[in-house]
């Protein structure tokens, strides 16, 4: 275990010195292999690991869902989702913040990326909230927190990666994320309601929308809702596999984009495909590097040492999951969500299986605590994304604004421990 802990320490040091996590994990994994087996074997094992991972058919889900998200983003769907949410919620006190939460949930459902959701919704939601004199703390905090919904509400790239690493069914994990996603949206809206109740000036009510404008706003988003229901409904009904669903989703998103006047020139197609390819390549570098590092950790024997440690400490399955969740929150202060899943899950996987933990339920738990890490100081990735788009807002104000949502996430986590059926009900109905 000493070698593995040293590897984690070096990895952390490289990340603090500015190395991208994909390259840092690859370097530490390669050197770790060399320490255990020699340089010749290290290069052979690293190359073999990357080739095996690259040939994993399940990974084809990722670029297709990324392409789906890029099509939706380029078609400027986010503004329509926001308008539709405002049509239903804008007249209430804090209505624009409530609309932002709802729009983030809708955009997440077709985008699947927390950082992309936060960046996009900052541009869409911040101007109207400032026009109605919302406090910067509430406005920026709502956007940063709403962006975290991107890794829970399916289709979610982190859930796909967890499914591959933990060898779980992608479709069941997608369905497992539906009810927790709805729960989170409800709790986030409750957090807005409490905030504006304590400070009414933080979120004044918006102007009521005319009935005709409401109908127009709702009509525009129906294709997006239909696409979301088609993808999830097909997976739930076992009509098609998650891989096929990703292809159908990408095709449907392209049709929607074309109907909205985009993707009608060769240049637009090239720009869109290049963006999707760059995002996929960057993500795959993280995946391959982390999986090489995970194999080094396995080779060091750390996962099996943890099994014996848990047995010696006589930790219950719930106690073990709580311990892993706390580690994930701490890692979330440094690493982004994909890195946490790829570094943490392989290490504890044998211990969790040995303890009889439901791996579908655990997948939702670990994604939820990863969401928590995205807005937890000192390094909340979503907070810094919002800050980069809104440089005039103090970082302390954004962190202050996400505080109610951190409480909401903790409440959701407690509810999932008390009632695991929130995550396991829909997957159990698929079996």
| Three-class secondary structure assignment of the chain | CHHHHHHHHHHHHHHHCCCCHHHHHHHHHHHHHHHHHCHHHHHHHHHHHHHHHHCCHHHHHHHHHHHHHHHHHHCCHHHHHHHHHHHHHCCCCCHHHHHHHHHHHHHHHHHCCHHHHHHHHHHHHHHHHHHCCCCHHHHHHHHHHHHHHHHCCCCCHHHHHHHHHHCCCHHHHHHHCHHHHHHHHHHHHHHHHHHHHHCHHHCCCCCCCCHHHHHHHHHHHHHHHHHHHHHHHHHHCCCCCHHHHHHHHHHHHHHHHHHCCCCCCHHHHHHHHHHHHHHHHHHHHHHHHHHHHHHHHHHHCHHHHHHHHHHHHCCCHHHHHHHHHHHHHHHHCCCCHHHHHHHHHHHHHHHHHHCCCCHHHHHHHHHHHHHHHHCCCCCCHHHHHHHHHCCCCCHHHHHHHHHHHHHHHHHHHHHHHHCCHHHHHHHHHHC
Please tell me the predicted confidence (pLDDT) of residue 307. Answer: 66
Please tell me the predicted confidence (pLDDT) of residue 431. Answer: 65
Please tell me the predicted confidence (pLDDT) of residue 311. Answer: 66
pLDDT less than 50: residues of the chain? none
Which letter does DSSP use for residue 203 in this model?
Answer: S
Measured CA to CA, the distance from residue 173 to residue 63 in angstroms comes to: 18
Cis before residue 155, ω within 30 degrees of 0?
yes
Residue 36 main-chain phi, psi, to 5 deg = -85, -35
Please tell me the predicted confidence (pLDDT) of residue 116. Answer: 73
Cβ neighbourhood burial of 52 (10 Å; 0-12, 13-18, 19+): exposed
Q: Are 333 and 378 in contact (CB under 8 A)?
A: yes
Q: What tokens does 63 get?
A: 């670029």
Residue pointed to by tokens 């995550």:
423
For the chain, count helices (H), then strands (E): 21, 0
Q: Are 108 and 149 in contact (CB under 8 A)?
A: yes
pTM of structure? 0.83
What distances in angstroms separate CA 359 from CA 252, 317, 337, 362, 427, one per listed residue?
31, 11, 18, 5, 12
Residue pointed to by tokens 């985008």:
111
What distances in angstroms separate CA 373 from CA 196, 204, 283, 328, 406, one per listed residue?
25, 30, 19, 8, 9
Please tell me the predicted confidence (pLDDT) of residue 338. Answer: 76
Please tell me the predicted confidence (pLDDT) of residue 310. Answer: 66
Please tell me the predicted confidence (pLDDT) of residue 303. Answer: 66
């Amino acid at each position: 275990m000493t070698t593995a802990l040293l590897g984690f320490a070096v990895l952390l040091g490289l990340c603090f010195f500015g190395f991208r996590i994909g390259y840092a994990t690859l370097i530490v994994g390669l050197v770790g292999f060399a320490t255990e087996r020699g340089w010749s074997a290290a290069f052979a094992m690293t190359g073999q690991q990357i080739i095996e991972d690259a040939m994993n058919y399940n990974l084809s889900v990722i670029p297709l869902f990324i392409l789906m998200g890029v099509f939706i983003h380029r078609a400027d769907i986010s503004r329509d989702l926001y308008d539709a949410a405002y049509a239903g919620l804008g007249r209430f006190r804090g209505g624009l913040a409530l609309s932002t939460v709802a729009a983030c949930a809708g955009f997440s459902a077709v985008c699947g990326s927390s950082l992309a959701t936060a960046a996009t919704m900052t541009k869409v939601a911040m101007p109207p909230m400032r026009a109605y004199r919302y406090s910067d703390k509430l406005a920026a905090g709502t956007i940063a927190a709403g962006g975290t919904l991107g890794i829970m509400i399916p289709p979610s790239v982190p859930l796909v990666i967890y499914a591959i690493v933990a060898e779980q069914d992608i479709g069941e994990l997608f369905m497992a994320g539906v009810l927790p996603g709805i729960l989170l949206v409800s709790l986030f809206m409750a957090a807005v309601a409490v905030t504006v109740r304590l400070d009414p000036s933080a979120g004044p009510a918006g102007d009521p929308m005319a009935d005709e404008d409401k109908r127009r706003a709702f009509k525009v988003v129906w294709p997006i809702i239909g696409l979301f229901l088609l993808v999830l409904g097909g997976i739930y009904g076992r009509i098609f596999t998650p891989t096929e669903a990703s292809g159908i989703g990408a095709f449907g998103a392209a049709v929607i984009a074309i109907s909205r006047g985009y993707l009608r020139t060769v240049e637009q197609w090239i720009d869109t495909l290049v963006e999707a390819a760059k995002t996929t390549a960057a993500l795959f570098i993280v995946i391959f590097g982390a999986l090489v590092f995970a194999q080094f950790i396995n080779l060091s024997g750390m996962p099996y040492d943890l099994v014996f440690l848990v047995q010696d400490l006589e930790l219950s399955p719930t106690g073990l999951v709580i311990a892993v969740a706390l580690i994930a929150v701490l890692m979330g202060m440094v690493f982004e969500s994909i890195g946490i899943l790829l570094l943490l899950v392989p290490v504890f996987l044998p211990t969790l299986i040995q303890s009889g933990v439901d791996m579908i339920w655990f997948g939702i738990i670990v994604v939820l605590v990863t969401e928590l890490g995205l807005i937890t100081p000192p390094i909340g990735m979503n907070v810094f994304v919002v800050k980069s788009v809104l440089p005039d807002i103090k970082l302390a104000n954004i962190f202050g604004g996400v505080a109610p949502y951190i409480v909401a996430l903790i409440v959701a986590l407690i509810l999932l421990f008390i009632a695991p059926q929130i995550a396991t009900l829909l997957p159990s109905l698929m079996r």
